[in-house]
Amino acid sequence: MSATLKSLRALSDPTRLRIVALLERDELSVAELQEITRLGQSRISTHLGLLQESELLLSRREGKRAFYKLNENAGATAREFIQLAIRGAGELPEHAGDQINLKRVLARRREQAQVYFNQIAGRFDRVYGPGRSWQAFGHLLLRILPPLIVADLGAGEGLLSELLARRCKKVIAVDNSERIVEFGKAKAKKNGLKNLEFRLGDLQTPPIESDSMDLVVLSQALHHAENPAEAIGAAHKILKPGGQIMILDLLKHSFENARELYGDRRLGFAESDLHHWLEAADFKKIEISVVAREEQPPHFQTILAGAEKA
């Protein structure tokens, strides 16, 4: 088969067009391409193999990882095909999400501290150490926190709010269940947490003054929101300039029973959606990453999104 026909065959699939467009900016590993496209490893590897066979891509190894990039030394015809592929990818419905995820992955790659944390976390679960636990680490990190004023939106019974109140200057826990709010108030009083206040309210319109919070937390709450984008906008409104939002939620999944079992309105979120909503609300310094993966079915994954109000 001629080189031209090989190139045409290699670029006949929309997924391969997406991959070529993603590699326009920088080289990427298989794992990074998986994270960006949300496709399985075997599928990504098959597409990469076809593109490399047609000499449109080059690869290199770094330890156990393989990185791929566009072939800078390709002939004139191949370079023309690459540009056509990039243009074609721009017309695909996945393109906007791919570009958002690419931006996020490349930004995280530059954060060496994040890489170091992932290495530590990987060892932590496998190597036993007496007295070493996530619970203990959590208390240590709480002691490091400055005396912030925090809003815990969708707080439920207030487990996280109680933990934060033991260190923060003030915590306002907001929930839309009158029964849960009364329960939280009684528990806070019983535990002597005078700096923890429960308020009845909705995620989209929290009963908190504008520009008054140092930190807004949405912990496994956003997937219950009727309008997640509006909830993120409301969080921006109540934050002080320089204040931060932290969103802990589920990565997009297909476990439909979550609607009935847990009352979830949405089956998690794609990183690109969270990034888009945060950006639209005028947040800056956006960082999003997967921070936990459950080993048991349905294999929920947890994402942490953080951003700052300019």
- DSSP summary character for residue 252: P
Lowest mean pLDDT among 64-68, 116-120, 172-176, 233-237: 116-120
CA atoms within a 13 Å half-sphere pointing along the CA-CB vector of 197: 12
| pLDDT, average across residues 166-184 | 94
Q: Is pLDDT of 144 > 80?
A: yes
The angle formed by the CA atoms of residues 164, 168 and 173, to the nearest 5 degrees, is 55
Long-range contacts: 134-140, Cβ < 8 Å, 24+? 138/163
Do the beta carbons of residue 36 and residue 105 sit within 8 Å? Answer: yes
Q: Is pLDDT of 111 > 70?
A: no
Q: Is pLDDT of 175 > 60?
A: yes
> Confidence band (pLDDT; 50, 70, 90) for 28?
very high
- Alpha-carbon distance of 3 to 78, in angstroms, equals 8
| pLDDT, average across residues 50-62 | 90
Pick from 87, 94, 75: nearest CA to 24? 87
Beta bridge partners of 196: 171
- Alpha-carbon distance of 110 to 147, in angstroms, equals 30
Q: Is pLDDT of 112 > 70?
A: no
Task: List, in order, residues 6 or more apart from 161 with CB less than 8 Å away.
Answer: 152, 155, 171, 173, 184, 196, 198
Q: Is pLDDT of 283 > 60?
A: yes
| pLDDT, average across residues 244-272 | 93
Would you state the pLDDT for residue 58?
Answer: 93
Nearest 10 degrees: Cα torsion 116, 223, 31, 48: -160
Task: List, in order, residues 6 or more apart from 146 with CB less than 8 Å away.
Answer: none
pLDDT in tens, 88-100: 999 999 999 999 9
Task: List, in order, residues 6 or more apart from 74 with CB less than 8 Å away.
Answer: 55, 56, 82
Pick from 188, 190, 200, 189: nearest CA to 159? 188
Do the beta carbons of residue 69 and residue 57 sit within 8 Å? Answer: yes
Neighbours of 87 (CB within 10 A): 11
pLDDT in tens, 219-256: 999 999 999 999 999 999 999 999 999 999 999 999 99
> What domains does the chain contain, in order, with CATH numbers?
3-98 (1.10.10.10), 113-309 (3.40.50.150)
Beta bridge partners of 70: 57
Q: Is pLDDT of 53 > 80?
A: yes
**Sheet strand arrangement including 65-70:** 28-29, 65-70, 57-62
Would you state the pLDDT for residue 116?
Answer: 57
Largest CA distance in the chain: 78
Asked, as a colleague might, if the bond just before 14 is cis with ω within 30 of 0, I would say no
Q: Is pLDDT of 113 > 70?
A: no
**Pairing verdict, β 57-62 and 149-153:** unpaired
> Confidence band (pLDDT; 50, 70, 90) for 122?
low
| pLDDT, average across residues 35-44 | 92
pLDDT in tens, 180-222: 999 999 999 999 999 999 999 999 999 999 999 999 999 999 9
3-state secondary structure of 161: helix
Q: Is pLDDT of 284 > 90?
A: yes
